[in-house]
Structure 1
Amino acid sequence: MAEKKRKRHGEESNGQPSKRVATEQPSGEVIKVSFVPDENEWTPVVASTPGLSFPSHLPLKPYTKRRKSNTTSTGKSPITNSEHLLHTSAHPNIDYTAQEEVGGGTEGLLSHYIGVYDPRSGELQLMRARKLVLRGSPRSSPTELEQEAKAANDRSARTALGLAFGTKKSKRALQNLTKNAISPSKKGLPAAEGSQPTLDPVAAAVISSMAIAAPSGTSREDLQAAIDEAKPRPTPNTAAEAPMDVYPIDQLVGPGILRQLAVKDWQDAVEHKEEILTKSRFVSHRIQQIVSEGDVRQIKTLKYLLLLIEWYTMLLPSPKGKGRKIPDRAQLHAKLGKWGSELVDGVGRRFADNGDNISNNNNNNGKITLNSWHLDNLITHICALCITVDPENYLTDMYDIREDLKLDNKSVRKYFKEIGCRIVAPTDKERARWGLAKAEAASHHVAKLRLPLEFPKMQMMRQPKGRR
C-alpha cells in the first residue's frame, strides 16, 4: 500500500500556496507613468562605490561647474550643460570624492533614471539622474606635510648655494632644473608705474634663500652636497648602518600606496603552482621566489615596481626630442585599467613635470610631459626598487631591467651608480646560481648596494696653464 504524501506547510489541496505575493497587482489595474523634466540644476544622483565601503553618516558637500562639452548626450538640460561633484573630508584619514567618469564605447551613451511609485494613486514618476563614481584617497598626515615642507626648504637653499659657487657644469644643471621648477611669469601684465614686477612665490622663496645660504668661504664638501641634493634620484640615508636603511620602502613607494595594492591573486597563483605572466622580465624572473617567501610588504613593493615599469613603457617620444610625453588619460587607462585610476594617476602626479593636471584632463594634448630631470628621477626610483626587492640581498643583475626599460649598458650603469651602487662582473658563484655560461656572463653586470655608499663625484675644472 502506497504511503500518502503529506502536504507541504502552507499549501492547499491543489498544491498552490495559500498566501499571495504582496507585490502582485490585481488584474485590470493600470499604472500611470509620467516623466519629470530635469529643469532644476540639482537632480538626483546615482553613485557607485567600486571596491569601497563608504560610511553612510558622512555628509557630502555638492559642487557644480559648467561642462566643457556635451559628451554624454544631446539636448539642452542641466545634466548635459553642467557637471556635479560630491566631496567630504569628515573622515579622519580619507577624503571621499564622487564625480562623473565618462567611459569610452557605449558607456558614454547610457542615461540613468530614478522612479518613484505611489501605490495609492498607481502613478510612477520618472526623473533623470546623474551617474557618479565615489572614490577615496588617503590624506597626508600633518607630520608628512611638515617633512615635505622642510625638505623643500633645504633643497632650495642648497640649490642656491650651488648656483653661487658651483662649477660651470653644475650651475648649468641647476639652472635647467630651476627653469623646469619655476613657471615663467605671465606676459602682458604690466606692473604699476614706479613699482617692480611681482615675482612668482616659488621664485621669491629661492631668491630670498640665496642671500641667507651663500656665506663666504664655501668648502668643496658643501658644493658637493648641494649638487647631490639637486640630482634626480631618491634621497639616500647617508647615516644608514645597513643597506636596507639607505632607501626605505615607504620613501620609494610613497605614503599610503602599499595599502592600495592587492596581491591576493599572485599568492593564490603561486599556491596553486600556476604560472604568472607579466610584461616585465625583471618581475617575471623573481615573482615566484618573492611570493613564496610570504613577505606581503615585499610582494606589494614588487607589484608597485611592475606598475612603474608598465607606466614607463607607455610613454611617447617628446616632440622636442628630450624627455617623454604622457599619453592622454583615456589611452593610458585603456592599457593600465587593471591597476585602477587612482594608482595610475598617482604615478603621473608624482613623477611628471605638471602631473597635478592629469586627473583633471581626459586629453592632455601633449602638455603633460616628463622632461630629462623627471625621466631620470623615475628611472632611478625604478633602479632603487630593483635593488630593494631583489631576493639576492641588495644586489641585482642589471640585464633584466635594462631590457625592460630598453636602455643601453652605459645608461643603465649610470643610473645604478647615481643611487650609490658599485658595478662589478658576476662572480663564479653568482654565474652558477643564475645559470649563466661564461660567454653569456659578458653581457651581465651586477649592481651592489654596499656601505659606505659611492656616488659620482663632482669634477673640478682644470686650471689653464700659463704661457711659457
Structure 2
Amino acid sequence: MSSSSSSSSYIKVSSYTDEPVAAVGSFFNGLSIPSSTEFDIYKNKKTNNYILHGETDHLEYNGDSVTNQDLNDYVVAMYDPNTKSVELFKAPYFQTKVTSKQYKVYKGPSVRSTGVKNVTQRNALGEAFGTKKAKQAITNLEKNRIDADKLQDMEMDIIDSVQESITASNNSGSNMGSTSKNSTGPQADDFSNSPIPKPNVDATNVEYIYPIKSIIPAKDWNYIRVQSILTDSDPISHFPSSPEFIKQQLPTIIDQGNLEKLQILYYTSLLFAIYENRRVSSKDQLMTKLNNTPSEALIDTILQNFTIARTSKFGKSKDRSFTIDPHNEDKLLCYLIILILHLSNFSVALNPLARDLKLKPTKLVALFRAVGAIIKSATVGEAEALGIPKSSVGTYKIAHLKVPFKMPELTRRRGGGGARR
C-alpha cells in the first residue's frame, strides 16, 4: 500500500468554465485545414445547441452539435505544471462536413415544389370534372410545355451554327466576331490548372494535336504488358473494364496484330475502370476492385496524375488514401476522351459512349467541346454505317477532332478551366 501511495499523483481542478471557449470537431481522415482558417460558433438560445462554421476561399466547414448522439460531454483541460492543477473548459462536439463552394448546390425554397404540386392537382381535377373547354385548355398547355432536355440539345445546335457562321465570316474577310489572340486566346500557362493537356494548336496532323505519348506517360508503356492478349481465347478477360467501346475495338486491333494500339486500348480500359471506381478512397481497395491485375506501378502513376493524396502518417504506400475531386474527375474524363478519339480515328459517336460512362449526352458534349472537338448531327452515311434509325438521325451526335485546330470559344471564356457539369 505504501509503495502504491508513494507513486500516486494528484491533480487539482483549479477552475471550470461552462461557456465554450473551445470546440471538438470530427472531420474525415486525412483532412488538412489551413491554419489561417477562422471558425465561428453560434448558440441556439432555446435549445442550447451549437452550430460551427468556417470557410476558406474554396471550402466551407459546417458542424452541428445536435449530431452528437452519445450524450457525452467533452472538456478541454489546460494543465499548469507549476501548481499541478488544470483549468477545465466545456467544449461542444461537432460532427462536421466539408463542402466545395464551387460545386455547392443551392436549394430553392420549398414553396416552389408546393406550387408544382398544386398545378398538378388542379389539372387532374380539371380533366376529371371540368368542361370541354377547360379540358381543351389543359391539353393545349401540356402540348406547349417546354422540354428542358430538348432545349439543351437545341442550345448546343444553336451554338454550333453560330460558331460555324463566325468561322465562315472570318475566312471571307469579315470583321464580325473577330478576336485578338492576345485578348482571348489561351496563354501557355492557362493549362497549368486545366483538366485538359496543352494542345498543339499548330499541328498539321490530327494525331499531333494531343500526341499519344503526352497522354500516356513514357515510363508507363513498360508496365502495359499485352502480348499474351493477342493469343488468348478470351482476350477481354485481361482488361480492367469491358464497356461496349472496348469490346467493339478489341477484335479489329487483335486482327491487325497492332501491339501499340492494344496497349492504348488497355490503358483506356484502365481509365474507364478508375472512373467507374472513382468513389474508392484507397489504393488497396482500388487494387482489390481491379482484381490486382494491373501493374501496381501503373496504378501509382495514374493516382499521382488524377487524384489528390490524403495525408496520413500511418500505413504503407499500398494503403495510402486519396480522393478524386470534381476537377480531377473532369481531368480523368478529358484524358479518357482523347484516348477514345485516337482509337476511333478521331470520330466518335456520343450516344453509346454516354451509356458506357453513364453520363447525360449534353454533359459528354461539353467535355468533348472542352478538348476542342466539333459536334455535329450524324449524316445519312454515318447513320447507315452505325445502324442508326432514320427517326433518330437528328438527335444522334458525332464528335470530330480536326486540323486546323482551334480552341473552342466556350473554353476560352472559361480560361481553360474545363467543362462544367
Q: Relative CO higher for 1 or 2, CA cutoff 8 Å, sep ≥ 6?
A: 2
In the superposition, the TM-score normalised over structure 1's length comes to 0.45
Q: TM-score, normalised by structure 2?
A: 0.49
